[in-house]
């Protein structure tokens, strides 16, 4: 039951992620124009800014060798295998959906890493002089999936503990 919910979420997210990256690279051609201002409120805004992330979250473990790319991709796929097993055993719909989003996002970023040697990041949110890390749809799905898992763990009502005889 949980796989029937989590896998379509993962697949849908993967398709949307890769379509958004295709549009950024092939239609908008953001690597050539570097930045597009979408929203500027003066104190905050949202831009499309081209960044190639050669590391993992927030650019950690960055490297540019083929071996490095393959190791990061293999690590991400190993995590996905663990998460797929978790989806199959998910206790509720929220967990299956959250894990599906995480898996779809992780696979989307693995595809980028193998195709381009880095992940296509382009969403740039800012307030004042502070810019959050540039991200993509896959990154957003991973973060939102983790937030949903944490919320579920903290706030889901628990069944009363069974008393031993």
Q: Is the pTM of this model over 0.75?
A: yes
The neighbour count for residue 18, using CB atoms within 10 Å, is 19
Count of domains observed in the chain: 1
pLDDT band, very low/low/confident/very high, at 153 (cuts 50, 70, 90): very high
Give the residues across from 40 on adjacent strands. 45
Question: Tens digits of per-residue pLDDT, 13-52?
Answer: 999 999 999 999 999 999 999 999 999 999 999 999 999 9
pLDDT higher than threshold 50 for residue 140 = yes
For 156, half-sphere exposure in the C-beta direction (CA atoms, 13 angstrom radius) is 13
Q: Is residue 163 assigned to a domain?
A: no
pLDDT of 77 reads: 85
Q: Is residue 162 assigned to a domain?
A: no
Q: Is residue 145 assigned to a domain?
A: yes
> Residue 110: which domain range?
2-36+48-154
Catalytic residues: 121, 139
The secondary structure of residue 135, as a DSSP letter, is: B
For the chain, the helix, strand and coil percentages under 3-state DSSP, each to the nearest 5: 60, 15, 25
Look at the chain and count its residues. 165
pLDDT of 70 reads: 77
Q: Is residue 43 assigned to a domain?
A: no
At a CB cut-off of 8 Å and minimum separation 6, what does 156 contact? Answer: 92, 94
Question: Tens digits of per-residue pLDDT, 44-95?
Answer: 999 999 999 876 554 545 555 677 677 877 888 898 899 999 999 998 999 9
For 37, half-sphere exposure in the C-beta direction (CA atoms, 13 angstrom radius) is 6
pLDDT of 55 reads: 66
Q: Is residue 41 assigned to a domain?
A: no
Q: Is residue 142 assigned to a domain?
A: yes
Q: Is residue 117 assigned to a domain?
A: yes
Helix or strand run (H / E) with residue 127: strand 119-127
Mean pLDDT of 92-106: 95
Tell me how far apart the alpha carbons of residues 21 and 17 are, in angstroms, rounded to a whole number. 6
The secondary structure of residue 162, as a DSSP letter, is: P
Nearest to 119 by CA among 134, 97, 129: 134
Q: Is residue 78 assigned to a domain?
A: yes
pLDDT of 145 reads: 97
């Amino acid at each position: 039951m949980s796989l029937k919910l989590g896998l379509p979420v993962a697949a849908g997210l993967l398709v949307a992620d890769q379509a958004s990256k295709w549009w950024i690279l092939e239609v908008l051609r953001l690597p050539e124009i570097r930045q597009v201002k979408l929203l500027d409120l003066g104190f905050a805004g949202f831009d499309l800014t081209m960044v190639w992330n050669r590391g993992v979250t927030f650019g950690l473990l960055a490297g540019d060798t083929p071996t490095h790319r393959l190791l990061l991709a293999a690590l991400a796929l190993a995590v996905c295998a663990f998460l797929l097993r978790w989806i199959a055993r998910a206790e509720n719909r929220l967990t299956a959906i959250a894990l599906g989003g995480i898996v779809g996002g992780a696979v989307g970023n693995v595809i980028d890493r193998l195709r381009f040697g880095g992940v296509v990041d382009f969403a740039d949110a800012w307030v004042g002089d502070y810019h959050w890390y540039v991200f993509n749809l896959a990154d957003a799905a991973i973060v939102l999936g983790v937030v949903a898992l944490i919320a579920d763990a903290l706030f889901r009502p628990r069944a009363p503990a069974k008393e031993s005889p």
